């Protein structure tokens, strides 16, 4: 309970109001920060896998997740990762190479939300295939930094669930994914140059 309260208090809310005379629609930007208390660090270290750590963080800090109507959510530092997901990754007890690989994956998952996939055009198909090809680099990087195979797949599923956590985001992902129907990819070797 104490961790939840500390986390809730550490959430910074910035509220901007529409200055026109129309209805004052408010935009809510949530920047989340997870305080790594000694108790939380110990619990994270006690988890067997990285995905177990992510699940523990989700269980404790789920209210921090951005559920705004924005497809892309808030990314104050413009690094391509939604701030709430970045806070989850930053809270993990992992090595920096592993953290960077997970951030690379979160950035790749987020990328599909920056495009309009409503039309099945050749340009959209090429764009979707380009994003999907970059996922191969994510897989190669995660293997290179030593994440075990089961943890690679489980963390991918969890990061996807965190990224596409609203109906609009899920629908955008599904539209993107349908453009990939029939495509194939080749696994890349686990090499350092695939890591960002």
How confident is the model over 88-146, as pLDDT tens digits? 999 999 999 999 999 999 999 999 999 999 999 999 999 999 999 999 999 999 999 99
Statement: residue 13 has pLDDT above 80: no
The length of the chain, given as a count of residues: 196
Which of the four pLDDT bands, split at 50, 70 and 90, describes residue 184?
confident
Least confident of 7-21, 57-71, 126-140: 7-21
Contacts of 47 (CB under 8 A, 6+ apart): 53, 56
Task: Look over the chain and give the mean of its residue pLDDT values, rounded to a whole number.
Answer: 86
Residue 27 has pLDDT above 80, yes or no: no
Alpha-carbon distance of 114 to 83, in angstroms, equals 15
pLDDT confidence of residue 32: 58
59, 7 contact by CB (below 8 A): no
**How many alpha carbons fall within 13 Å on the CB side of residue 109?**
25
Q: Given this model, what pLDDT does residue 2 score?
A: 44
With 60 as the cut, is the pLDDT of residue 177 above it? yes
């Amino acid at each position: 309970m104490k961790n939840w309260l500390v986390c809730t208090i550490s959430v910074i809310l910035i509220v901007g109001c529409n200055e026109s005379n129309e209805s004052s629609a408010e935009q809510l930007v949530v920047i989340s920060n997870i305080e790594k208390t000694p108790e939380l660090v110990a619990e994270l270290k006690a988890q067997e896998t990285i995905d177990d750590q992510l699940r523990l963080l989700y269980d404790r800090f789920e209210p921090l997740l951005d559920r705004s109507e924005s497809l892309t959510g808030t990314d104050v530092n413009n690094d391509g990762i939604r701030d709430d997901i970045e806070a989850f990754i930053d809270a993990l007890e992992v090595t920096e190479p592993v953290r960077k690989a997970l951030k690379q994956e979160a950035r790749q998952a987020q990328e599909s939300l920056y495009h309009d996939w409503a039309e099945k055009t050749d340009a959209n198909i090429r764009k979707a295939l380009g994003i999907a090809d970059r996922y191969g680099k994510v897989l190669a990087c995660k293997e290179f930094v030593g994440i075990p195979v089961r943890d690679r797949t489980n963390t991918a599923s969890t990061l996807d669930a965190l990224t596409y956590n609203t109906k609009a985001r899920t629908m955008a992902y599904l539209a993107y994914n349908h453009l990939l129907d029939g495509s194939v990819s080749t696994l890349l070797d686990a090499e350092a140059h695939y890591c960002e």
